[in-house]
Amino acid sequence: MIVIQATSQHVPAIAKMAAETFVENFGQYFTPEKLEAIVAKSYSHEQIQADLDSGEQVHFLCNDADPEGLNPLGFCQIRCKDPRQASPELSVEYPGPCWEIRRCYVLRGSQGKNAGSLLLEAVLSRVKEAGARTVWLLVLNENVKAQRFYEKFGLANTGHSFFYMAGPHSLLVKQL
């Protein structure tokens, strides 16, 4: 398996995988109409391309020996962002620059094959290279499996909980 940084040629693959993994992970929280609207807005080719073009976000793809990255098993998106921007009520200040890990997903059929670990290792390496002092993410409170996964990489549950999209999310943080 290999991890690559996504480019414009990967937009269709990212859009397809993002929509599929979003529905797998959050479909039960929304009506079919709301789910369709979220996917259409957040995971359209145009939105993914805009994210890539902004220069503020970086996408990584994990592929099963596919150097072109056109059939990814998982993807992860990162951006430079302070956790207080996402949750202004947060009273704790973390040393910056801070990087957010977002939309880190592996297709259900590919879970347990090390794709998630490879993605997270690549992301943590990249944010360190960028001079990050803190990395963070939000995880659904009830998604204990994901929280345990991130804890293996040193991200700790801060005890802060925020309502975000599908329900209460826990803030996990690692200082680098």
Query: pTM for this structure?
Result: 0.88
Residue 86 binned pLDDT confidence (cut-offs 50, 70, 90) = confident
> Which residue in 34, 36, 28, 17 sits closest to 167, CA to CA?
28
Q: Which domains does the chain have, with CATH numbers?
A: 2-175 (3.40.630.30)
Contact 84, 171 (CB under 8 A): no
Res 95 pLDDT > 70: yes
pLDDT of residue 88: 67
Please check the confidence at residue 115 and state whether its pLDDT lies above 80.
Answer: yes
pLDDT above 80: residue 114:
yes
114 or 159, which is more confident? 114
User: So what's the pLDDT on residue 164?
Assistant: 67
